[in-house]
Amino acid sequence: MRSACRLLAAGIVVALVAATTACAGARSGADDRVERARTLQIEVETLDRHLQRNADKLARTIEDAEHHGLTHQVERLEERRVLVLDAILDAERTATMRTELQAGQDHIQNQQHEPAIAAFESVRTTLHRLLDDFAAAEYLLLIEPVVVDLRQRWLAGDPATDDGLANEAEQGFRYAAELRAEGDLDGALHVYRMLLYDYQELLAAEG
């Protein structure tokens, strides 16, 4: 009888320990989600401010150039601002991100940390892409006209465009234009950099 009681008591102790461990694990998991959600919230709000500061800095640079009568620089900066506004800061393109950001903030207030994490992770991805595109805009406006000029000079020689490197370059040129139109400035810049060497090689081959 005593043996049975001891076994029963031992079983109860084991069950209590298991329950306590499970509760502790659940609390730990919940705490991790809370910390993760709050960390992501701080990160995306910081990235968002960084994007806005970049836009404000560009506007101030244009104002300074206008103030000092730097006409050529103003024209170049205005072209960049138009590209940035159309491709990056367009309200339609950022509307989903703003909605997700607000949803994440609402979820945090309502202690709904799993959906908050999902929303903030999506916003973070978008903001990183927008910041990459913002940085690419300046260089895209420098390299694009160079590539266009090289291509025009190459085409002036009436080359065959349906084989080998020529075909790849022409496909790449169309793809870069599509990326630019879609607002993927970083992607377009990457393609134009490759095209720069392709068209130089094609021109050199014409001799």
Q: 68-94: per-residue pLDDT in tens?
A: 787 888 888 888 888 888 888 877 778
Q: What is the pTM of this model?
A: 0.78
75 touches 155 (CB < 8 A):
no
Listed residue (169, 187, 165) closest to 178, CA to CA? 187
For the segment 49-78, the average pLDDT, to the nearest whole number, is 87
Listed residue (206, 119, 102) closest to 154, CA to CA? 206
Q: What is the pLDDT of residues 86-142, one digit of tens each?
A: 888 877 778 888 899 999 999 999 989 999 999 999 999 999 999 999 999 999 999
Domain ranges of the chain: 2-206
